[in-house]
Amino acid sequence: MFDINQIRKDTPASQQLIHFNNAGASLNPSVVIQKVKDYLDLEAQIGGYEVERLHQNDIKAFYTEMARLIHAEPHNIAFATSCTDAYARALSSMPFKSGDVILTSDDDYASNQLCFLSLQNRVGVRVVRAKNFDNGDMDVADVERIIKTEHPSVVAITHIPTSSGKMQPVAEIGQLCRQYDVWYLVDACQSIGQMPIDVQSIGCDFLTATGRKFLRAPRGTGFLFVSDKALEAGFSPLYFDNHSGNWTGKDSYTMQASALRFELYERSLATVLGITEAVRYACAIGLDNIWAYNQDLAQYFRQELQNTEGVTLYDEGSQLCNIITFRMGHKPLEVIQSALNAARINHSVTMKKMAQIDFDRKGIDWALRFSPHYYNTKEEVDKVIEVLRAI
Ligand SMILES: Cc1ncc(COP(=O)(O)O)c(C=O)c1O
């Protein structure tokens, strides 16, 4: 059930400040924090390995809850410490050779672009980016054209870029990947927890996400989804440990049959329990409810910004989400930020190095980024607008 009063009670800091930086890291529900604290306390009292043995079922629940959230099976899930950690593991499982093509978009996340460029330098892969239409939407026909002419080894698409509110057509691209039998890697870092995510309808082989953003999990958490097809094809990371694999003899080893082969043994189990609790919390509210509230709130926010003198919105595309980027005429960034900080309004600024292609085209070197979530309210939006209009 969606009960905003209860949700805000579960988020104590929402009484003290206005947090519009959920695309950075959101405020955790109290139940999530409590789980982590209790587990850490127990580790201090009886020892790390000993608590782990006691909490086997709670640890296993991570895989079942995460699978439920994204419509997968528990054996398709691996824990990761961040989205980039999951992404690097997925990429490292692909046997790239010189001349192979990675097909991506202009809006894929900066760190992913860095990984592609590193592969370009080290292995000689080619990075090919599909075109956008003038309105910012990705040109899916161009994706198909490139698949047909360049035969990419993998299509790698970020669902929601960090630097603008657009949503990329991941399910349509997934259909093409299935039609042409191409491996498909999706970065769902900004969409997980913000809206329903269904790996079956996206049709991806790998999907990566972080916990700390719209899922409201502790920092240092994330996960990787690996499809049955990719597991059966034998994909496994280049570097791993004796949790992912088994040293069976002097010169031999086996890998885990499940996505656990992408996971390392050492991780903070307190945070594993924390992210599991965050998934339960989101599912109890309902991802459809969360998304409906979020869309309404973001639409209100954009409309109020549009009615504010000097504001230029930079979100493009026909499908927008809860990342809102804008600038205010020639007002210096420091002036805007100090007014927001004085009113305890958490926000962020995206710099050009996070969006080289996008910001180059838009002719900007930074943008303010507000990312409302379902525990925020229209009254909080009104407060932001009041502060901005007073600058
Ligand atoms: C779209 C997208 N992908 C990946 C990441 C990286 O996430 P992490 O810092 O958990 O590796 C971010 C972080 O902002 C992001 O916005």
From the CB of 222, is ligand 1 less than 6 Å away? Answer: yes
Q: pLDDT tens across 78-101, in order?
A: 999 999 999 999 999 999 999 999
- 213 Cα to the center of ligand 1, angstroms: 9
The yes-or-no verdict on residue 225 having pLDDT over 90 is yes
% pLDDT > 70, the chain: 100
- Going by pLDDT thresholds of 50, 70 and 90, the confidence category of residue 275 is very high
Is there a contact between 390 and 339 (Cβ–Cβ < 8 Å)?
A: yes
The yes-or-no verdict on residue 330 having pLDDT over 90 is no
From the CB of 210, is ligand 1 less than 6 Å away? Answer: yes
Q: According to the model, what pLDDT value does residue 228 have?
A: 98
What angle, rounded to 10 degrees, do the helices at 83-92 and 110-123 form? Answer: 30
- Going by pLDDT thresholds of 50, 70 and 90, the confidence category of residue 233 is very high
From the CB of 317, is ligand 1 less than 6 Å away? Answer: no
- Going by pLDDT thresholds of 50, 70 and 90, the confidence category of residue 238 is very high
- 149 Cα to the center of ligand 1, angstroms: 30
Tell the residue nearest (CA) to atom 16 of ligand 1: 162
Q: pLDDT tens across 280-324, in order?
A: 999 999 999 999 999 999 999 999 999 999 999 999 999 999 999
Q: pLDDT tens across 334-351, in order?
A: 999 999 999 999 999 999
Which CATH fold would you assign to the domain 31-284?
Aspartate Aminotransferase; domain 2 (3.40.640)
Q: pLDDT tens across 128-182, in order?
A: 999 999 999 999 999 999 999 999 999 999 999 999 899 999 999 999 999 999 9
> What H or E segment, with its residue span, contains residue 77?
strand 77-80
From the CB of 371, is ligand 1 less than 6 Å away? Answer: no
From the CB of 86, is ligand 1 less than 6 Å away? Answer: no
The CATH class given to the 4-15+286-390 domain equals: alpha beta
Name 309's Cβ contacts closer than 8 Å, sequence gap at least 6: 329, 389
Q: According to the model, what pLDDT value does residue 279 have?
A: 98
Centroid of chain to Cα 226: 16
For the CA of 82, the closest atom of ligand 1 is: 10
- 109 Cα to the center of ligand 1, angstroms: 7
- 115 Cα to the center of ligand 1, angstroms: 13
Q: According to the model, what pLDDT value does residue 1 have?
A: 78
- Domain boundaries, given as residue ranges, for the chain: 4-15+286-390, 31-284
Name 390's Cβ contacts closer than 8 Å, sequence gap at least 6: 339
